[in-house]
Structure 1
């Protein structure tokens, strides 16, 4: 694995990372998948994506996995274009800052993001690509749109997402979203590069970047829409998540309120 070889504008705060590039940029859009220690979930997901042969380059943004799930040989086999491994501080937002900066520097016209824990139906990726091609700047995946599917959603998550998260984000964005806790979404490069958005700041460390972009991009008049997606939780056992305990959820709600009420504007 190599240290980063791309250079970013001096105004961008991008955590330290290492990159391994397996294939040249081919498509207009990149699919960014943030992961950390997802084991067979991410491996099966990448196999399913590869089988679809979609017009999108797959970029894995690793938070520092130690489970052996992201071996270079395997990633090459399933068509992954690059592996970006975070070495600096931060969690999901730091991983996304790395990946988005890398993608934009490579000249992609937009980026699709989905979780790497196997809960999202990969067949929906093409809907995000279609929406970007139609000129939308932020595309939110929603299990609650006609054609979407919500399977085994934990009750507490359904309540928080439906009655707290989505209403607050929609209020700040001035656009009605229905599923803002869903990490399956897409952005145009134009929106991400707008200095009034400015996503490459050290204030984005844990989960707040996704919340902020959902508010800020529509707020500035960019075109927004939702597309139907499926999100399936396992019928039993531990729920795949990196947000653990009351403290983690409380902190996440604090980040939500900051984003919704404009405290993260540049």
Structure 2
């Protein structure tokens, strides 16, 4: 196990990489987190129970958590391959740029992403691997296709995904997607290194990169699809999310509108 801080690279936030194990697999699973506490530990335990840590290298893309959930020795026992800790500005978009850059530099042929709040069926990773093996370039996980499960989804979120977010993303992508807010998806190396994609740009700080990558593959004529996944919200208590109800959702709508008009295209 060793740690090092990356040198300044345009479009990639400064970060500390702690490589617990060397690269072992063809594909990796990037999990962006910030102070997820026991949720990320339970998710990693589920991954171990289903052998996911043997199928893909698990890379934690941490936003510099302060809750103790990213202790590298504990993560090692939970099957994590590498911990990346952002030491720069930006939120989810910056964490993903950090993870994508590291993964591509390490030579992975495809990258799967999933939220770290234990809402998603991490055991569904083999479905994404199968699609990457079939030369798909972008695959969206969906709770709304046959075989998918939406459990305890708050009514307002269900409405927003079905009737606002997914229609706008589908219009922009010129391809129908049914669960476009879901960060459970995969990307091929071919897609992320395409000259008309260029994901390593500082414009991608919050949720812009997720929105952009949802639409760009089909716009460029690359191979896209969906696979069924499960997304389960708690039966009661606070909904685990990083998006505030008013400001966060307003900013998200503005991102969708800018995406529709090509504001993020290189």
Q: Which TM bucket (shorter chain)?
A: over 0.9
Distance across 2 between alignment mates of 1:4 and 1:224: 35
Do residues 229 (structure 1) and 229 (structure 2) align?
yes
Distance across 1 between alignment mates of 2:257 and 2:223: 23
Do residues 4 (structure 1) and 5 (structure 2) align?
yes
CA contact (8 A) 1:17 1:84 kept: yes
Do residues 259 (structure 1) and 222 (structure 2) align?
no
Q: Secondary structure of the equivalent of 2:246?
A: helix
Distance across 2 between alignment mates of 1:216 and 1:74: 37
Structure 1 residues 40-76: Cα deviation after superposition (integer angstroms, max 9, x where no partner): 1000101111222231100000011111111111111
Structure 1 residues 218-252: Cα deviation after superposition (integer angstroms, max 9, x where no partner): 11001000000000000111000001130111011
Structure 1 residues 139-160: Cα deviation after superposition (integer angstroms, max 9, x where no partner): 0000001110001111111111
Q: Secondary structure of the equivalent of 1:80?
A: coil
Structure 1 residues 135-180: Cα deviation after superposition (integer angstroms, max 9, x where no partner): 1000000000111000111111111111111111111111110000
Q: Secondary structure of the equivalent of 1:262?
A: coil
Structure 1 residues 113-137: Cα deviation after superposition (integer angstroms, max 9, x where no partner): 0000010011111101111011100
Task: Name the counterpart of 1:28.
Answer: 26
User: How many residues in Structure 1 have an aligned counterpart in Structure 2?
Assistant: 263
Task: Name the counterpart of 1:212.
Answer: 212
Distance across 1 between alignment mates of 2:217 and 2:89: 26
Give the Å deviation of 1:263.
1.1
Task: Name the counterpart of 2:56.
Answer: 56
Distance across 1 between alignment mates of 2:253 and 2:239: 19
CA contact (8 A) 1:59 1:83 kept: yes
Q: Secondary structure of the equivalent of 1:245?
A: coil
Distance across 2 between alignment mates of 1:238 and 1:221: 40
Distance across 2 between alignment mates of 1:122 and 1:263: 33
CA contact (8 A) 1:137 1:224 kept: yes
Task: Name the counterpart of 1:38.
Answer: 36
Give the Å deviation of 1:259.
1.4
| Higher mean C-alpha displacement, 53-62 vs 137-146 | 53-62
Distance across 1 between alignment mates of 2:262 and 2:160: 20
Over aligned residues, Cα RMSD in angstroms? Answer: 1.2
Task: Name the counterpart of 1:95.
Answer: 95
Structure 1 residues 56-113: Cα deviation after superposition (integer angstroms, max 9, x where no partner): 1000000111111111111111111100001100000000000000000101000000
| Higher mean C-alpha displacement, 48-57 vs 173-182 | 48-57
Superposed counterparts of 1:47-196, under 5 Å: 47-54=45-52, 55-196=55-196
Q: Secondary structure of the equivalent of 1:125?
A: helix
Q: Which aligned runs of 4 or more in structure 1 are off by greater than 4 angstroms?
A: none
Distance across 1 between alignment mates of 2:47 and 2:147: 20
CA contact (8 A) 1:212 1:260 kept: no
